[in-house]
Amino acid sequence: MANKKVYKFDSRILSAILYLVIGILFCVFRSGSLQILLTVVGILSIVYGVVDLIKRFYYTGIFGIALGVILLVGGAWFASIAILIFGVFLAVKGIVSLIEVFKMAKPNLFAIIGAAITVLIGVLLIVNKWVMLDWFFIVIGIVFIVDGILILIGK
């Protein structure tokens, strides 16, 4: 009998490569990758909606197609509004945290710094959301790249 070699597929390598590619794309395209993601999700939603219609799941099919069209046509607008709302929530949360910290008998320096940073990020998201989003995607991209490298070296 011939000795056959059995090759096993290691999904960790595929995951690491995928993480590296996504991380590089996030770092290169920054906030532009949000539009790419919205387009891909919109197309997938339409495809799943059509499949649901073929399977005679009319409500989910129509919902999927409508969601896909909305994401394709107005995805960037919805993302812009969501980022603005998130910025307002962060700023308000930071201000409330600052007020609570200063009401303490002995305010904690780390709590003050954390609340001030929260206010700053919220205000920056409101004032200049796309620059902040660029930095967000760069940081997330770096995290993906580091995670991919750690998977490759087995950590």
Tens of pLDDT along 15-62?
A: 889 999 999 999 999 888 888 888 999 999 999 999 999 999 999 999
Q: Does residue 67 lie in a domain region?
A: yes
Confidence of residue 100 (pLDDT cuts 50, 70, 90): very high
Q: Does residue 55 lie in a domain region?
A: yes
Domain that holds residue 73: 29-153
Q: Does residue 90 lie in a domain region?
A: yes
Q: Which residue has the tokens 């990758």?
A: 33
Q: For residue 155, what are its two tokens?
A: 């950590």
Angle subtended by helix axes 11-29 and 32-54, to nearest 10: 120
Phi-psi region of 128 (alpha: psi -120 to 50; beta: other; left: phi over 0): beta
Q: Does residue 147 lie in a domain region?
A: yes
**Rg from Cα positions in the chain:** 22
* pLDDT average, residue stretch 73-85: 86
